[in-house]
Amino acid sequence: MSSLKSAGAGLLALLCAATTTQAQEVTVKVGIAKALATAATMIAIEKGYFKEAGVKVDIEELDSSANVMALLAQGQLQIIEGGISVGYFNAIERGLPITIVSDRVSTPLSHKLLIRPDLADKIKTPGDLKGKIIASNGPGSVTTYEVAKILSKDGVSIKDVDIKVLSFVNMGIALTNKAVDAALVIQPWASQYVERGIAKVFADPDDYADPKPLTIAVNMVNTDWAAKNKELMRRYYLAYSRGVRDYCQAYHGGKNRQDVIDIIVRTGLEERPEILANTPWPARNVNGRMNIPVLLDMQKYYIKEGLATKELTVDQLVNNEYVDAAMEKLGPFTVENAASKLEGCR
């Protein structure tokens, strides 16, 4: 009888411990511009890394991070994963409590500037895009910056083309209907549109990027909230960084690749595993640090185009303390698949 009582007491202790752990989970509201790069977050959720860190991630899907700076500044979202838009620089200029805390997508991006097949004989150089209609996913978005870098090769300004704002899904329809002449498209849509014969690859933004590597998507945080929740932020980015490392191992063809593909499919980031097998994945900085010269170059571009007015300092634009703390705990990253020759995610 005493052994039964002892076993019962032990089980009760385990249940109480589990309940305590669950009760200690803190909800973090995260806005995400859905893309393959979101896999790092989904891995951390699915693998229980966030749960181990006492974090419950509440995800809200976004069309473009350019339109949600107010939600972040107001604290309705605590973290945003998405592209760097002019809205970010304008928000800092206005003194809103926002800053970048982590890289999300860096060279090689696998983004493509696509053109309609019927224009392939007419558009052969960036200068030939002058006067054309080019689709981008947001006003003042990072994809527009990428277009501008390509155009500048032949001295063409973004003002010399007609930028049409469309979602990546609708870009395929617009190319088919000839509503646009070209579109800056991310994966997996870029490869899909080429495979379906509705577009041809005209240029890769990575080939025109200067400085490099080109960082185009990041994590942004509400600084007022972060200041009050520093330990939670450290736990969040430790869990997140574990997801990033798993993603990067899979990116390089590691032994976990199929497991990561299963997570991507299961969480709805991409429903067709064959696409993931044949489509390039976006790279990222595995240590979470973005390329600062790129951020300053973007700022310079937005000021030049009259979309931003004030030159901000690096300290105003980026805070690396949370990813640096995570790296200190995790130690150096080593690619398991030594045969991988892929750039990025190292």
* Residues near 154 by beta carbon (within 8 Å), at least 6 away in sequence: 125, 126, 127
Q: What pLDDT was estimated at residue 279?
A: 84
Q: Do the Cβ atoms of 235 and 56 come closer than 8 Å?
A: no
Tokens of 267: 């969480």
pLDDT tens by residue, 260-316: 999 999 999 988 898 888 888 999 999 999 999 999 999 999 999 899 999 999 999
Q: What is the mean pLDDT of the chain?
A: 91
* R_g over Cα of the chain: 22
Q: What pLDDT was estimated at residue 83?
A: 87
Q: What pLDDT was estimated at residue 65?
A: 53
Tell me the pairing of strands 26-33 and 79-83. parallel
Tell me the pairing of strands 26-33 and 162-165. unpaired
| Entry pTM | 0.86
In whole angstroms, give the CA distance from residue 318 to residue 111: 24
pLDDT tens by residue, 149-160: 999 999 999 999
Q: What pLDDT was estimated at residue 21?
A: 45
Span 202-231, average pLDDT: 95
Asked if residue 19 has pLDDT above 60, the reply is no
Span 88-99, average pLDDT: 95
Kindly indicate the confidence band of residue 14, based on its pLDDT and cuts at 50, 70 and 90: very low
Span 97-121, average pLDDT: 96
Give me the domains of the chain, ranges plus CATH numbers: 25-107+214-330 (3.40.190.10), 112-208 (3.40.190.10)
